[in-house]
Structure 1
Amino acid sequence: MKRTKSLAAVACVALISTLAACGGDGGGGGGSTPSDQKFEEAGAGFAKVADAEGPAPEIEGAATGGDVTVYVPLDEGPEDLDPTNGWSVLGNSIQQALTHRSLTQYRKNDESGEMELVPDLATDLGTPNDDFTEWTFTVRDDVKWETGDPITPEEIKYGIERSFDSETFTSGPGQVYSVENIDCGDGYAGPADGDCSGITVEGQDITIKMVKPFPDMDFWGSFMAIGPIPLENSDFPAYGRKPLSNGPYKISEFRPTESLTLVKNDQWDPATDPARHQYVDSWTFKFNQDQQKTDQILLSDSELSSTAISYRLGASNATDLKSKLGDNYIQQTGQCVSYRAPDYTKITDINVRKAIAWAYDFDNVTLAGGNIPGVTRIPASTLMPPGMSGRKEYFPDGEQFTYQPEKAKQLLEEAGQTGMTLTYVYDDSDATLKAAAEAEKKGYEAAGFKVEMIPYQEDYYALYDDKDSDINKRLNLRNVNWCSDWPSASTMIPPLVQAGQPYNTAFFDEPDVQKAIDDIATLPAEEQPTAWGDLDEMIGTEYFPLIPLAYRNELYGAGASIGNFNGDGAMSSINFKDLFVTQ
């Protein structure tokens, strides 16, 4: 799942330059780091509670009422709200918590503090056959749309079929998980091709046949991309401007790149929902906010600050914010990695790709981008993040990449590429993002590269996916920020290196890697983690198509009247489901 600036940097939807893609400190760099903080590693998995029932466990001390404003610095938010398109940390963490339900979902276990997979629209977590090539879910018969109309299994079938439409939903997750796993026949491309015979409905049961074993269907079931879609009046893009809600809140107003306002949905029944609450009266999300101004709101004692949440805290104010906010200052882990993606079709020499890695000035780029080295970012070496099952600790060039311009310069000379030009886009709309890009440029130039930076303020991923774009044709260095969709490398490696995937921004394609991905899916489930770790090492040492830059933590904050403020380890985000306003 992408981390984005505009909606997901692959999650920020319009990415900026690498580390800055998911935000930058409006103060223009520097940073005052709390002395007791360090990077936290994510856990390896989530428990499953198949028999969880609604209503969700009450939160101690929770009160009903109040209006919450969420400030989102340096991120333009979702371009649309169509559930089939949803594949970003920010967008999914809002919609899946508050407005859109699917077959399964996550909730936070109050005792352990860990996330767990529980039913949602389904009565349990699904029943697979012995080899995981067929799954059956029983859909609840007591859930409704905001209109009062019942949600039907046929609408879930239609939602799954819709996820195959990669021409309409060019960056949706269905391209990876539905197309690659669900048996709708060769070339099936969504409802325009008619009925998918591999998805059948009988009464309240929906049965999904797979083209290969898919033991993670219960996790894929948590995505709103395969949740219900009305059979009528749901054409894209109109539906994405105000889709029908079936969660505790519904959309009052959506202004792309500016704001999203949610109000209570009176057709949501808490007795049907094992995880969500409806404590807050309304939510207002304000996108693309200035980092310094947002920090100052939380540092003030104004009435505005008490019910404010910041979706990102600036590094330069971190110490003061930690002192001011107390328990409402949180550091959230996640299986998230930032990468640079040299164009594999243009930068064909592995040693030149390694030269780029040695020329990346991690500390200065991180600080200039408003992040905190050692706390919110640590240097990366592998495709898989720490905490992911099967991950192997290895170094593509024998040791951890650090900023060594002389070593990079030597590799360039040996490759006969001294003076090679690196061309990439950057967002010049914010001083912090521009500063991070300039720091990166300076590091490359010191290593003997020439650099061409192209100002670009729109959706980076849409640009990278547009093969006809004159700008995209000029690029030989792109980026991607990625978080696992669930705790498996099957959601980390294929989206980034499998040929034809929208977030394979390096345009990497090697037959033995593609075969290995296919082969791993046929292994017994208990053998797959080790196989993914071996493949990660093979990709990194033999091909090195992506430069892992940083493993990520994020800082979030909330005002004094926000109760039960905590993080969501499944989404690498804020846990919006359980928040309330103290009265």
Structure 2
Amino acid sequence: MTGTPTRSRRARLAALAATAGVVLAGCTGGDDQAEETSTPEGPEGELTLLAQGPVDAWDPQRIVDRRTAGVASRLWMRTLTAYPPAEDAAGQRELTGDLATDTGTPNEDLTEWSFTLREGLTWQDGSPITCGDVRYGVSRAFAEDTGSGGYAVTYLDIPKRADGTSTYPGPYGSEGRSSDARKLIADAVECDGQTVTFNLGEPVATFDEIVSVPEFAPYEEAQDEQGDSAHLAFSSGPYMLEEDWTPSDGGTWVRNPEWSEGDDPLREAGPREIVHREGLEPEDALAALAEDDGTRSLMLDPLPPALADQREQLGQDARSVTGDGQLVEYLAPNMESDAFAKQDVRRAFALSTDRRGYVEALGGRDAGGAAWSLLPEILPSAHDAVMDAGPGGDPERAQELLTEAEEDEPVAVTVAYRSDTEGMDEAMQALADGWEAGGFEVTLEPVETDYYEQVGARRTADERDVVWANWGHDYPSAATVLPPLFDNRVNLTSTSLGRNYGQVADTELNEAMDEAGETRGDSARAEAWTEVDTELLRDGAYVPLRQTQVTYVAGSEVTGLGINAAYGGVPDLGSVGVRR
């Protein structure tokens, strides 16, 4: 990305990092997939959603995790653009105009994007959805108390202070209602009838995808007068809350009489009523499927591998679907470490990585599979392996590279990892065994608490040669993966590494990422990102480990069961139905 690095960008990365450890996603697939992606049956039935929860917020400008966004997008929240229900990754990433008539029109230098709202759109009370509602929703993303993802602050053409914070305070209070503040947001988000134009501070080729995230959803200003809006779901979609949402308990979604299927290219009328229960541990949710009314229930949380046997005991009383998760786990070699100063040493480390042992220790294929890139299948820039040594690694070739690098074996390295996950100690030991066979002397450093805070602190950066981490896309683009992890301009400061734990600082890399982010044409842009990632892997800048897998379980009367990777891997409620 071009432009001056800002603290707002780092804030967005921090917000994403806070959710990355718990958010899972996936691509469609699994034993029931061929049947489950059919058109919903029995739309007049009742569906029950079983979830551990709690949902932090339904307020669009407060939704920061992709799984919540996926549920909200299918039930009640519409955005300018969105991703459709589909059977495969290629279909799921086909961006579609949602509230907007199409996916937008940019100007020549990609600094202006215009979207025209569909005619006749209304909120659940029958009031029209206007360009002003879009502007007001975006304005809320600037308020301190929304906790928004930071895209609006980062990209809209609104001046920033020296510390990177926006000069626009959001729409609240006397400061936010001042004429100066109103002009700032009006100039950045222009309204001309039903056409909204976003003026950006830098070229952004994927802004049509960015406006699919919740912080760009419209919001009716009058709803801010209702008090605490954290769990207010004022609907523009097919469902609305029958009564207020109760955190840790849930609520009931009923049909929105003001929604019209003919004005919605993505959603169909599903079950008559959706009972959304929170507060259920996965084992309790699984047990509920075996009850008489559990046949029309769906678990919204992935099935833990430890409960696989209990799922099998349900037999034909349940059905399931398995697919890729959003998160990719990887290792970041410290480029400032003496141990990894040479490229061949970094490559040797990658070649001697035993992914098979790592995957098996963490639950086997039911929980994840070997990964060869940070770019999963749902991203158009996904590609084949660059340094494919096989799942078990190639320690002999690793030793040859160390010899060519004139390194005295063994090369001593310290590897930090997050140890509060079941099986992680064993998984890291499996990796250590492979590295030692490849010519390394490994010291494992388990970190139990405040993991990302500890490994991201500049003051301790030189204590570790390798850091374990994970990451997931915000929308289907490498732009939400590679720059947040490897662009030193938005990560490295005097006190923090951001999420750039390997301290990668490469001007040519930054320029290549800028060019990829500004490339017109989906295919050309995907190819540019593929090349960026390929060079990172060739350089040994990171070592991909595992692509997480998720399995969702539903009762026998649930139809259309599928996973949508574009929305963080939640079951796609746009295709789910019930037989009775």
* Fold similarity call, TM over 0.5: yes
The structure in which a higher percent of residues are helix is 2
**Would you say the 8 A contact 1:164–1:190 is kept in 2?**
no
Deviation sequence 1:173-225 (CA, Å, 0-9, x none): 434xx455443345562741732323211222211233454443332222212
Q: Deviations over 1:113-145 (max 9, x none)?
A: 944443322233333345544222223464444
Shift in Å at residue 84 of structure 1? 2.9
Q: Which whole-Å CA distance do the structure 1 matches of 2:222 and 2:296 have between them?
A: 42
Q: Does the aligned pair in 1 maintain the 2:125–2:258 contact within 8 Å?
A: no
Equivalence for 1:183: 157
Secondary structure in 1 matching 2:533: helix
Counting only pairs closer than 5 Å after superposition, residues 14-33 of structure 1 correspond to structure 2 as 15=21, 22=24
SS of the equivalent of 1:155 reads helix
Q: Residues of 1 paired with 2:102 and 2:133: CA distance? A: 18
Contact 1:69 1:285 in 2 (8 A): yes
Cα RMSD (Å) of the superposition? 4.5
Q: TM-score, normalised by structure 2?
A: 0.73
Match of 2:427 in 1: 439
Matched, 1:13 2:19: yes
Give the Cα separation in 2 of the matches to 1:9 and 1:184.
Answer: 21
Aligned to 2:150: 174
Kindly tell me: are residues 529 and 112 of structure 1, through their superposed partners in 2, closer, same or farther at Cα, counting changes over 3 Å?
A: closer
Counterpart code for 2:425:
A
| Counterpart pick for 1:512 among 500, 508, 512 | 508
Deviation of the 1:379 alpha carbon: 1.9
Spell out, residue by residue over 1:338-373, the C-alpha distance to the aligned partner (whole angstroms, 9 max, x if none). Answer: 32334555675356655664565433432333341x
Instruction: Please tell me whether residue 138 in structure 1 is matched to residue 116 in structure 2.
Output: yes
Contact 2:359–2:546 (CA<8 Å) still a contact in 1? Answer: no
Q: In the aligned structure 1, how far is the partner of 2:279 from the partner of 2:78?
A: 23
Query: In the alignment, residue 561 of structure 1 is paired with which amino acid?
Result: E
**Residue 253 of structure 2 is aligned to residue 279 of structure 1:** no
User: What does 1:419-430 correspond to in 2, within 5 Å?
Assistant: 420-427=413-420
Is 1:496 aligned with 2:485?
yes
> Within the alignment, does 1:576 sit opposite 2:576 as a pair?
no
Check if 1:252 corresponds to 2:244. yes
Give yes or no for contact 2:158–2:168 (8 Å, CA) kept in 1: no
Give secondary structure in 2 for the equivalent of 1:480.
Answer: strand
SS of residue matched to 1:279: coil
Paired residue for 1:362? 355
In structure 2, relative to structure 1, the CA distance for the partners of 1:145 and 1:343 (3 Å cut) is farther
Corresponding position: 1:263 with 2:257: no
Tell me the residue number matched to 1:554.
550
Q: Is the 8 A contact 1:77 1:90 kept in 2?
A: no
In structure 2, what is the equivalent of residue 83 of structure 1?
60
Whole-Å Cα distance in 2 between the matches of residues 435 and 98 of structure 1? 36
1:312/1:391 CA distance change after superposition, 3 Å: closer
TM-score normalised to structure 1 length: 0.72
Deviations 1:322-352, CA, capped at 9 Å, x for gaps? 9935994223357763323345556753566
Q: Is the 8 A contact 1:426 1:455 kept in 2?
A: yes
Q: What's the counterpart of residue 48 of structure 1?
A: none
Query: Structure 1 residue aligned with 2:44, among 49, 64, 69?
Result: 64
CA distance in 2, matches of 1:310, 1:138: 34
- Mapped to 2, the partners of 1:409 and 1:189 lie a distance apart of 51
Structure 2 alignment gaps of length 5 or more: 1-13, 171-180, 492-497
**Which of 286, 298, 302 lines up with 1:308 in the alignment?**
298
In the alignment, is residue 545 of structure 1 matched against residue 541 of structure 2?
yes
Q: Rg bigger for which structure?
A: 2
| Residue type at the aligned position of 2:71 | I
Letter in 2 for 1:556: Y
**How far, CA to CA, are the matches of 1:426 and 1:111 in structure 2?**
34
Asked if 1:201 corresponds to 2:201, the answer is no
Q: Deviations over 1:6-49 (max 9, x none)?
A: xx996892627xxxx859xxxxxxxxxxxx979x9xxxxxxxxx
Deviation readout 1:248-268 (Å, 9 max, x if unpaired): 23383353xx55434226464
Distance 1:321 1:401, change over 3 A: closer
Residues 49 and 277, structure 2, Cα contact 8 Å, conserved in 1: yes
Shift of 1:146: 4.9
8 Å CA contact 2:133, 2:221 repeated in 1: yes
Q: Distance in 2 between matches of 1:98 and 1:146?
A: 12
Residues 231 and 545 of structure 1: is their aligned pair in 2 closer, same or farther, counting only changes over 3 Å?
farther
1:119 aligns to what?
A: 97
1:338 counterpart SS class: strand
- Distance in 2 (alpha carbons) for counterparts of 1:209 and 1:341: 36
Looking at structure 2, the residues matched to 249 and 507 of structure 1 have their Cα atoms a distance apart, in angstroms, of 46
User: Is the Cα contact below 8 Å between 1:384 and 1:492 reproduced in 2?
Assistant: yes
CA contact 2:329–2:468 (8 Å) conserved in 1 = no
